[in-house]
Amino acid sequence: MIISERLRLLREQKKLSQGDIEKRTGLLRCYISRIENGHTVPAEKLARALEVPMYRLFYEGNIPPELPKLAKRTAGDNSLWGSAGKDANTLEKFCVLLGRMKDNERQILLHTAKQMKQTNVSRSRRVGPESQR
């Protein structure tokens, strides 16, 4: 379920109008409508107005999902691209933008990137490394 649909469902389950949410959040009714129609991303204020924890907006279960166990990095571990500096800022922006994309759009992007990589690899085999820039 998409977050816009979930917000509308939660609002309707609590028998609240968009006007009620407007009063509780201070957000304009037209903004709430844009959120529910998938034209913009909701703010934390909506979860507070619906009196639900943030995870309920994104997760269908009744209890919070278990957090994945991620490998711990040390403070000096800058060996990965995107772990520090300008690369970290670029990676963060990229993650935010990917998060806003729909699944089918993400699939198209990944397919295009894969095709570009294959084209680049085959070109480098034909031409040789000395002629690449």
Looking at residue 43, which CATH number applies to its domain? Answer: 1.10.260.40
What is the mean predicted confidence (pLDDT) over 120-129?
A: 66
Residue-range definition of the domain harbouring residue 92: 86-131
- Domain assignment present for 32: yes
Q: pLDDT tens, 80-124?
A: 777 777 887 888 888 778 777 787 888 888 888 888 888 776 766
In the chain, how many domains are there?
2
User: Does 44 reside within a domain?
Assistant: yes
- pTM for the complete prediction? 0.38
Residues 9 and 47 in one domain: yes
3-state secondary structure the chain: CCHHHHHHHHHHHCCCCHHHHHHHHCCCHHHHHHHHCCCCCCCHHHHHHCCCCCHHHHCCCCCCCCCCCCCCCCCCCCCCCCCCHHHHHHHHHHHHHHHHCCHHHHHHHHHHHHHHHHHHHHHHHHHCHHHCC
> Is it the case that residue 54 has pLDDT exceeding 60?
yes
Q: Is 36 within a domain?
A: yes
- 51 and 90 housed in the same domain: no
